[in-house]
Amino acid sequence: DQQVKQNSPSLSVQEGRISILNCDYTNSMFDYFLWYKKYPAEGPTFLISISSIKDKNEDGRFTVFLNKSAKHLSLHIVPSQPGDSAVYFCAASAWDDYKLSFGAGTTVTVRA
Amino acid sequence: NAGVTQTPKFRVLKTGQSMTLLCAQDMNHEYMYWYRQDPGMGLRLIHYSVGEGTTAKGEVPDGYNVSRLKKQNFLLGLESAAPSQTSVYFCASSYLFRDRGDTGELFFGEGSRLTVL
């Protein structure tokens, strides 16, 4: 049973607009969350992370929001650029765990 | 910097054949992982290692074995390949995960695409 869920398999957005990717988790022990980006024929690369002691973390055009009570996090990309077209994975872990649990991924397509 | 290197990149096997995927990292990371990626399933952990000489099972370990004889290498073996093992396999490594100040990120290789006929 997947503990990290990305219910939108795909997202299409116009260049310059905001992309919002959503992620839900079921394990209440998770307290650290990461987003990875993956281009075809490449390995995933780290994008941004957030600890449960925060509700927001920002890095340039990327912002991750965490709502612990709802067990929900989201990634905002503003403004979206063609190079942002990729698969985005949400991942989570518990403090005493070495492992990341990944969601199924959301494919983002940025239209010119 | 090579980072995490996986060999081979592509392989086609017949059912019942065996093979080994090799992962090598040059970042002196303690932790190493093998994931598989399947459509609609995301990345699922097969096995992992928290240091040289150690291995542990992940979510989907059946049909796979691993070894970590050297800190920089992590091998994934399929003793008798099955069509259900057709997938893209990713190796990853990380520093002492969740250490203070660390982002906790995993560094991934480029992947190995395996097809079992």
pLDDT in tens, B37-71: 998 888 999 999 999 999 999 999 999 999 999 99
Phi, psi of A82 (to 5 degrees): -55, -35
Q: Residue A43 pLDDT > 70, yes or no?
A: yes
Nearest CB to A99 within list B45, B103, B111: B45
Nearest to B34 by CA among B114, B108, B102, B98: B108
Q: Flag whether residue B100 sits within 8 Å of chain A, measured between CB atoms.
A: no
- CA closest to A7 among chain B residues: B40
Q: Residue A1 pLDDT > 60, yes or no?
A: yes
Q: Flag whether residue A62 sits within 8 Å of chain B, measured between CB atoms.
A: no
Cβ <8 Å between A102 and B35: yes
Q: Flag whether residue A34 sits within 8 Å of chain B, measured between CB atoms.
A: yes
Summarised one tens digit per residue, pLDDT across range A94-106 is: 877 778 899 999 9
Which residues of chain A neighbour B4 with C-beta distances below 8 Å? 43
Please give the average per-residue pLDDT across B77-85, as a whole number: 96
Summarised one tens digit per residue, pLDDT across range A49-93 is: 998 999 999 999 999 999 999 999 999 999 999 999 999 999 998
Q: Flag whether residue A32 sits within 8 Å of chain B, measured between CB atoms.
A: yes
**Coil, helix or strand for B17?**
coil
Banded model confidence at residue B98, pLDDT cuts 50, 70, 90: low
Decide: B19 and B77 in contact? Cβ < 8 Å.
Answer: yes
